[in-house]
Amino acid sequence: MSRLIEYADATPEVRAVFDAIMTARGVADVNNFWKALAVHPPTLRRTWESLREVMAPGALDPLTKELLYLAVSASNGCDYCIASHRKAAEAKGMTAEMFGELLAVVGMANETNRLANALRVPVDPAFED
Amino acid sequence: MSRLIEYADATPEVRAVFDAIMTARGVADVNNFWKALAVHPPTLRRTWESLREVMAPGALDPLTKELLYLAVSASNGCDYCIASHRKAAEAKGMTAEMFGELLAVVGMANETNRLANALRVPVDPAFED
Amino acid sequence: MSRLIEYADATPEVRAVFDAIMTARGVADVNNFWKALAVHPPTLRRTWESLREVMAPGALDPLTKELLYLAVSASNGCDYCIASHRKAAEAKGMTAEMFGELLAVVGMANETNRLANALRVPVDPAFED
Amino acid sequence: MSRLIEYADATPEVRAVFDAIMTARGVADVNNFWKALAVHPPTLRRTWESLREVMAPGALDPLTKELLYLAVSASNGCDYCIASHRKAAEAKGMTAEMFGELLAVVGMANETNRLANALRVPVDPAFED
Amino acid sequence: MSRLIEYADATPEVRAVFDAIMTARGVADVNNFWKALAVHPPTLRRTWESLREVMAPGALDPLTKELLYLAVSASNGCDYCIASHRKAAEAKGMTAEMFGELLAVVGMANETNRLANALRVPVDPAFED
Amino acid sequence: MSRLIEYADATPEVRAVFDAIMTARGVADVNNFWKALAVHPPTLRRTWESLREVMAPGALDPLTKELLYLAVSASNGCDYCIASHRKAAEAKGMTAEMFGELLAVVGMANETNRLANALRVPVDPAFED
């Protein structure tokens, strides 16, 4: 497991990112992902700035974005990401029923992705334009 | 590439599934995925029945389900699936802006999934309850 | 696409591996994988020797090994590998019905693998001993 | 980790699936995968019905199907699935020697899948018909 | 395939990123990845800025970074990325011999990653501190 | 978790490989990966011989090879492999700063791999020759 850098031990550069995260999220501490990522301050800063931009409300609402994030994390089998983004999705309104349906779609997509690959299905011309 | 089984050459068992797909979708022919999957009629039938059930409106609306399907397919790099589900998502209302934001989330999730794995981040107790 | 090294243009080191493959398989030419891999003779040689050892009859018969190879390749979405190992499996006795059932298992495993990950299912004690 | 739903706390809909699993397998309790999946009864039911159909004896015998399932799970790195399907395969006759050879094939396929991708090897015309 | 946005048809926002890429790389046109990504200008801009920062010389030299990028792309089977990053690596000094050895490491890592997963190997205490 | 075979309990065939590993690395015991792999002596032997050959100094120096191994393992999410190859890379000279930059490249490559796949970007003719 990685070393986790706590606020008290962080450099000013790291603290500035931690402060930005805590302010944006209205929380009193950052979660372990950020404490671990603090081993490389430039990646910490860039990742936070990118995440903030990508997850901001836009043509897709924040809950939908969080569902997509969770679906990809579940598909990739990232245990930490599944745990953290499930909590984040629930905080934004994902119900147990919605999580169940998300699971079903992720499972189904992983199944048919392999069927399509295995059968080497040629893309229909109607899908190409 | 796999052999594609056209309706005219299909067995009654396969035709019954093709008919069900065409009726449910209001189309005059099934796309190549189903024609390729018809090499194994039990898998054709089961896949269609599962897909119909999973993608039906529920706690998640059909567009959201299609976005999740597309996100997983993009993350997995299934070329056929990306092409077909992008069309399906567009038919259900996905705009170019929404597709762009979906792309951004898929890319970001794939990036942070690897950062979390690489750093072996321990799951926060707050995510476990 | 990679440069393919034909026998006529190959070094003696590469020709020796090509000869071994052709002899072992009773074919008049090696397939493209080996011609491409010949860009790095040590990897060509080591890969062939490992493959020959791994795929030899043992506690698992050659057809079962080929089915496993095809299942993994289908799961990974390696297009070349799916095409070549499907042919190899057919040459060893895989029927259309067997291929269909293999497809079904690969699809199902990919689906339940994601369900298990997404639900973060704890391993049953009975599976640990 | 997900909440596990025990039989005593399950709804009639969930109990019906648990009963079906226990009867089919001749066991006194279902394993954790099903208890976790019970958070979404439609996915629980559909997954069980699909699994039962896919894993039934057919052109491939039950042991071969279980080996394929295990190989895909190992390739995907699904820890729960590896543990549970290894036990299932052993119950159907997989010996230590067979497991060792399965490992070797899975490892080799993952290696050559990447070599083929990295070299962008064109599919041989002989593999296309 | 995606629509490619050429410079002549691009908005000022997109042109600014294209200009930055062409200047940084000393080329007369951007490659297709950027033309495709231009369908979503915020993702185009953010991706370019992140890439420029990540790939800049640092504790790792530019060739090593490019080799790492190529290795990950080969492992993931991204055809476009393999083609483009192989060219980029060659431009920075990757020889045929270096590419061959990179291939061998990528293949080997993919093999042993699966062996370690399949065997569910516990992490040695010496690796945890 | 797999059974770990200790030297004292190993067959002569397994001990010979353990001895070779300990001699080559100058260590008093092999790490858990090898103890687990000893359940299948032919795979143990072949894997060690392949690894020794692949990781030997060549056109790429040992540190660069170890960085590539770690990058692939991080990308694949193999927890054991990340832990063991991070230690191995540090022993060969990887600094915290180098690890941070490696992380950044792995994350970025995983992000852009998915963007390229999702956009189905056609390979530039300039990358094909």
pLDDT digits (tens, 9 = 90+) for D3-35: 999 999 999 999 999 999 999 999 999 999 999
How many whole angstroms separate alpha carbon D20 and alpha carbon D17? Answer: 5
Our CA dihedral for E33, E36, E41, E44, rounded to 10 degrees, sits at -10
pTM of structure: 0.98
**Per the CB < 8 Å rule, is B103 touching E46?**
no
Q: Which chain A residue lies closest to F103 (C-alpha atoms)?
A: A43
DSSP B2: P
**Per the CB < 8 Å rule, is B104 touching E76?**
no
The predicted-structure confidence for E19-62, as pLDDT tens digits, reads as follows 999 999 999 999 999 999 999 999 999 999 999 999 999 999 99
pLDDT band at D1 (very low <50, low <70, confident <90, very high): low
Tokens of E38: 């231009």
Angle at Cα B7 formed by Cα B6 and Cα B13, nearest 5°? 115
Query: Would the pLDDT of F1 be above 60?
Result: no
How many whole angstroms separate alpha carbon B41 and alpha carbon A83? Answer: 38
How many whole angstroms separate alpha carbon C25 and alpha carbon C48? Answer: 12
pLDDT averaged over every residue in chain E: 97
Place of tokens 């057809």: C63
Interface of F with B in 8-67 (CB under 8 A): none
**Per the CB < 8 Å rule, is C40 touching E107?**
no
Shortest CA distance to C67 belongs to which of C28, C103, C17, C107?
A: C103
* Residue E70 near residue D119, CB atoms below 8 Å: no
Query: Would the pLDDT of E2 be above 80?
Result: no
The predicted-structure confidence for A20-77, as pLDDT tens digits, reads as follows 999 999 999 999 999 999 999 999 999 999 999 999 999 999 999 999 999 999 999 9
* B95 near A CB under 8 A: yes
Tokens of A62: 């924040």
**Which chain F residues have a beta carbon less than 8 Å from that of D101?**
40
* B84 near F CB under 8 A: no
* D129 near B CB under 8 A: no
Place of tokens 């991706």: E47
Closest residue to F77, CB basis, from D77, D100, D101: D77
Q: What subunits make at least 3 CB pairs under 8 angstroms with F?
A: A, B, C, D, E
How many whole angstroms separate alpha carbon C42 and alpha carbon D129? Answer: 32
- All structural domains of chain B: 1-56 (1.20.1290.10), 59-129 (1.20.1290.10)
Q: What subunits make at least 3 CB pairs under 8 angstroms with D?
A: A, B, C, E, F
How many whole angstroms separate alpha carbon D23 and alpha carbon C50? Answer: 44
The predicted-structure confidence for A62-79, as pLDDT tens digits, reads as follows 999 999 999 999 999 999
Nearest Cα of chain E lies from the Cα of C53 at a distance, in angstroms, of: 15
pLDDT tens string, chain B, 129 residues long: the values are 579 999 999 999 999 999 999 999 999 999 999 999 999 999 999 999 999 999 999 999 999 999 999 999 999 999 999 999 999 999 999 999 999 999 999 999 999 999 999 999 999 999 997
Task: Report the run of H or E that residue D53 belongs to, with start and end.
Answer: helix D41-55
The predicted-structure confidence for D59-89, as pLDDT tens digits, reads as follows 999 999 999 999 999 999 999 999 999 999 9
* Residue A75 near residue A81, CB atoms below 8 Å: no
* Residue A33 near residue A2, CB atoms below 8 Å: no
pLDDT computed for residue E117 by the predictor = 97
pLDDT computed for residue C1 by the predictor = 53
pLDDT computed for residue F86 by the predictor = 98
Query: Would the pLDDT of E1 be above 90?
Result: no
pLDDT computed for residue C30 by the predictor = 98
* Residue A96 near residue B60, CB atoms below 8 Å: no
b/e per residue C13-29 (b: at least 16 CB within 10 A): ebeebbeebeeeeeeee
Our CA dihedral for C35, C38, C43, C46, rounded to 10 degrees, sits at 70
Shortest CA distance to A46 belongs to which of E1, C79, D81, E56?
A: E56
